[in-house]
Amino acid sequence: MSDAYSSPAYQFIFRSTSDGILITSKEGVVEQINPAAAAMLGVTVEEALGRSPEMIFSQHPALINLFTRRGSQTLDVRLPKRRLAVGIANTQPDGRRIVMLQDVTEKQELETRREALISTMSHDLRNPISALGGFAELVEKFGELNPQQQKFLTRIRQTAQKLYDVAGSLVDLAWIEAGMPLAHRPINLGLLIDRAVTQLTSLAMERKITIAVSVQDPMPTVIGDPERIQAAIYQLLHNGILYSLGEQTVAVHAWGDMHEAYFSVADRGIGIADDELELIFDRLYRSRDERVRDLPGGGLGLTIARTIVTRHGGDIWASSNLGVGSTFTFVLPAAQP
Ligand code: ADP
């Protein structure tokens, strides 16, 4: 073994870390396996050394995969006793293959429980909330109300609607974060933009906002889940309209090349303070700005949009000047012809 693998510092880390480390030689036999890896995989160090991964780990196809492929790779590896590890593999310049295993069983269980809780809570919340809104509407139908009562009732209805929307977004988020399968279809972004614009035309008219659309022709195709991408487009456009001041234009652009497709929404609305720009994509974050507090919203739209875009291998960001306006942009990888 070369010096790098036998230095005392390396040996110390190798023996004492709780992450599993396995190294195979150029010829494909196990040269090193640390105690953590042996314990995780239910073998002894002696059993493993000098053998090929196919022989000793036949119960763990994902692990064999990590050894037999080239380049860098990450895969979930099922361990004995229903445990789960994330395996990261890399080929060294000297031809050795290193596989690291990180036991994520507890983390995964917590995540699953958290998602189940969010999902149940949101379902259980939506029914009573919608009943609340429904009864508030009924009150008006059974007798004259004074202006004060009317005002309070309107507030009840608006609050119920807001809660209902938040609960709905939590369901979406739990579903997306639970790693729901995404469709894998060719997407025509222009078409999805048209649909989102149609859905939001009445809100725009109500707020005296003009939506200006410019889509490059031809637009590169992207591969993914059209419904989800449309939800991301809808969310950005919805925000552009909502956080605009009246009688202004919200500009929607889409362009791209053979590598990437871009989508942006630019408004001349209230803008976002510099110190909040990093926070707005966080779950449940809403600006401190009073003009935002007065508008309906639960602070989940951008979190969902970001999750959708990143799950498609893309990226999303915002630039803004307080009082001048904001631009939200996302980029997705274009389908290779
Ligand atoms: P919501 O709109 O429901 O509050 P979002 O996650 O969509 O939740 O947005 C989070 C926050 O980001 C908003 O509350 C608002 O403060 C800010 N924001 C989003 N889009 C814009 C925009 N176009 N202009 C100004 N602020 C925005």
Confidence band, pLDDT 50/70/90 cuts, at residue 3: low
Is residue 196 within a helix (H) or strand (E), and if so which, with residue range?
A: helix 189-206
Contacts 24+ apart (CB under 8 A), 299-305: 300/166, 300/169, 300/170, 300/172, 300/173, 301/169, 301/235, 301/238, 301/239, 302/235, 302/239, 303/173, 304/169, 304/172, 304/173, 304/176, 304/231, 304/232, 304/235, 305/231, 305/232, 305/235, 305/236, 305/330
Q: Which of 78, 103, 128 is the last residue of a domain?
A: 103
Mutate to test the pocket of ligand 1, among 207, 242, 243 (most ligand atoms within 8 A of CB): 243
Average pLDDT of the residues in 262-270: 97
Q: How far is CA 310 from CA 68, 225, 228, 262, in A?
A: 28, 12, 12, 14
- Indicate if 194 and 325 belong to the same structural domain: yes
CATH of the domain at 17: 3.30.450.20
In ligand 1, the atom with minimum distance to the C-alpha of 302 is 6
Q: 139 lies in which domain range?
A: 107-177
The residue nearest atom 2 of ligand 1, judged by CA position, is 297
Confidence band, pLDDT 50/70/90 cuts, at residue 2: low
Between 115-129, 205-219, 262-276, the lowest mean confidence (pLDDT) is in 115-129
Q: How far is the CA of 56 from the centre of ligand 1 (A)?
A: 53
Confidence band, pLDDT 50/70/90 cuts, at residue 292: confident
For residue 297 and ligand 1, the question of a CB distance below 6 A is answered with: yes
For residue 325 and ligand 1, the question of a CB distance below 6 A is answered with: no
- Indicate if 154 and 193 belong to the same structural domain: no
Instruction: Give the pLDDT confidence of 82-120 residue by residue, as tens digits.
Output: 899 999 999 999 999 999 999 999 888 877 777 777 777
Can you give the pLDDT at residue 284?
A: 79
Can you give the pLDDT at residue 285?
A: 86
Q: How far is CA 82 from CA 19, 54, 93, 105, 109, in A?
A: 17, 21, 35, 8, 11
Share of the chain above pLDDT 90, in %: 61
- Indicate if 96 and 157 belong to the same structural domain: no
Instruction: Give the pLDDT confidence of 22-62 residue by residue, as tens digits.
Output: 999 999 999 999 999 999 999 999 999 999 999 999 888 88
Please tell me the total count of domains within the chain: 3
Q: Which of 156, 177, 198 is the last residue of a domain?
A: 177
For residue 301 and ligand 1, the question of a CB distance below 6 A is answered with: yes
